[in-house]
Amino acid sequence: MAFDGCFVTGTDTGVGKTLVSAALLHTLTRHHRRVVGMKPVAAGLIEHQGQWVSEDVLALRAASTVSVPAELDNPVALPDAMAPHLAAERAGQAVTVAELLVAHRSLQALADAVVVEGAGGWRVPVNDHETLADLAQAIGAPVVLVVGLRLGCLNHALLSAEAIRADGLQLAGWVANAVDPDMVGRDDNIDTLRHWLQAPLLGSVPWQTPAPQASEIALDLPEAWR
C-alpha cells in the first residue's frame, strides 16, 4: 500500500512531538507535494490573531503545504492544558474516536500525506472508554515514536514500543530528542535504544537554546515513504 501518512506519538508529554511532526512535514515535502499536519485533540489554547488556537496546531500549519479548515486539522480544541478527557469534561464537550477519524479521512482526500500528532503518550484517554491509541489503530498508519532523552527514557520507550506493536501497528522508526541538557550517558542511552527498540533511528535532535527550527532538523525517512 502506498504511503499516505504516519502517526506521531511520544514517550511522555513535553518530549518534542510537535517539533518532530513539523520536521517530518518539512522532510516529506521533498517527496510529496501536498502534506498536512493534524492535531486531532489539542488541550491548551492561546489567543492568536483574534482566535483561540493551540500553539502545536500553529506549528503544524506552518510546516504544511496544504491549507485546510480548522475543523479538519484540529477537530477538537480544548481551552485547558490538561489530559484531553479531563479538558473535554471541563469544557462540556464529548470527544469520540469516530469524529476524529472522519476528519482524518477528509484530510486524506486533500493531501498526499497526513502527519497526525497525538497528545501525551501512546494510551492517552479521550473519553471514558477510548484512547488516542484507538484512533491510531483506526487510521492504521505507521507510527513514529519520539523519545525524550532523560532519566527513565529507556523504560518509557520500550513500554511504548511494546504497546504500539501489541496494538497491531508498525513502529516505523523513532527520533531521539535531547530534552535534558544534563543527562548523563546520553549517547549510551541512544545506543541502548538502538538495540532494544528494533526500529530505525530516523534522527536525533540535539539540546540547544533556543530550540532548533523544525526546518533545520534532518530526518532519514524510510524508503517506502519517499
Domain boundary assignment for the chain? 5-221
Residue 211 pLDDT = 86
Average pLDDT, the chain: 97
Question: Which residue is catalytic, options 17, 26, 39, 104?
Answer: 39
Q: What are the tens digits of pLDDT across the range 92-117?
A: 999 999 999 999 999 999 999 999 99
Query: Does the annotation mark 17 as catalytic?
Result: no
- Give domain 5-221's CATH architecture: 3-Layer(aba) Sandwich (3.40)
Q: Which residue has the cell 541502548?
A: 192
Q: What are 208's strand-pairing partners?
A: none
Q: How far apart are CA 156 and CA 22, in angstroms?
A: 23
pLDDT band at 2 (very low <50, low <70, confident <90, very high): confident
Residue 35 pLDDT = 98
Residue 218 pLDDT = 87
Residue 206 pLDDT = 94
SS3 at position 142: coil
Per-residue pLDDT for 132 more than 90? yes
Strands 113-117 and 143-148: unpaired
Q: How far apart are CA 31 and CA 173, in angstroms?
A: 18
Q: Are 78 and 42 in contact (CB under 8 A)?
A: yes
Q: How far apart are CA 13 and CA 132, in angstroms?
A: 14
